């Protein structure tokens, strides 16, 4: 549905509608887990398109604050774009929205792989979004400052004028860190992303469930069937 044209009015109506739904869920099934959704946005009056505006994302960030006020997990629209292709507009919007979502500390970011105001699903964009999200998560994570990471002993051992490239600690930590893979100089980035998407489709082997997980899933489904019967 629609909402007041002002961001404040949209935030108010969104929150009231969410709370009314929350009450209904708890009356029907007390203790039902709830995620605070932040789907508010602005409508382009010329085209009717939904999304792709800075004001819309500002409203969603404000709704994240309300979710924290209620001590509820929250999801946020990030990595999305009004563009219908993987171009500069996509790069600008997806990076900006995903970075703000990470800085807001949301519990879930959705819209990976979506273009054209969520009207197009692109497998190539899904792969590119994954790289982008991992880089942003690395950027905003806290810097670890414990004894292992400060490496004061290593600094003392290498000494003035020495170099650290050949040290065991360098090899160990290099393998731990996320290092994005970039295409060769003679290959366009989007071509490389497309090849990666095809490789995942054809060759990826999902990890098996841990021992006992299948039984737990069956027990959860059986309990749900019992409650809903």
- Domain parsing of the chain, residue ranges: 1-141
pLDDT value at position 229?
81
Q: Is the pLDDT of residue 177 over 80?
A: no
Q: What is the mean pLDDT of the chain?
A: 89
**pTM of the entire predicted model:** 0.78
Tell me the two tokens of residue 42: 């602005």
Instruction: Write phi, then psi, for 50 (nearest 5 degrees).
Output: -110, 115
What CA–CA distance (Å, rounded) separates 71 from 73? 7
The region of weakest confidence among 24-33, 75-84, 172-181 is 172-181
Taking only the tens place, the pLDDT of each residue in 119-149 is 899 999 999 999 998 889 888 888 899 999 9
Sign of the torsion formed by the C-alpha atoms of 42, 126, 110 and 2: positive
Per-residue pLDDT of 25-51, as tens digits, reads 999 989 999 999 988 887 777 777 776
């Amino acid at each position: 549905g629609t909402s007041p044209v002002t961001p404040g009015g949209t935030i108010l109506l969104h929150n009231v509608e969410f709370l009314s739904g929350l009450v209904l869920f708890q009356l029907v099934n007390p203790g039902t887990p709830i995620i605070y959704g932040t789907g508010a946005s602005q409508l382009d009056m010329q085209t009717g398109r939904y999304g792709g505006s800075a004001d819309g994302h500002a409203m969603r960030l404000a709704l994240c604050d309300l979710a924290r006020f209620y001590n509820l997990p929250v999801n946020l629209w990030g990595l999305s774009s009004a563009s219908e292709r993987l171009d500069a507009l996509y790069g600008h919007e997806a990076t900006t929205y995903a970075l703000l979502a990470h800085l807001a500390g949301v519990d879930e970011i959705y819209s990976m792989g979506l273009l054209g105001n969520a009207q197009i699903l692109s497998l190539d964009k899904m792969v590119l979004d994954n790289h982008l999200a991992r880089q942003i998560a690395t950027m905003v994570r806290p810097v670890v400052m414990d004894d292992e990471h400060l490496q004061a002993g290593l600094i003392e051992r290498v000494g003035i004028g020495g170099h650290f490239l050949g040290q065991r600690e360098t090899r160990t930590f290099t393998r731990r860190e996320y290092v994005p893979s970039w295409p060769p100089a003679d290959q366009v980035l989007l071509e490389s992303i497309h090849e990666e998407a095809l490789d995942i489709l054809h060759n990826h082997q999902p990890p098996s469930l841990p021992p006992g997980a299948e039984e737990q899933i069956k027990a959860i489904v059986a309990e749900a069937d019992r409650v809903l019967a």
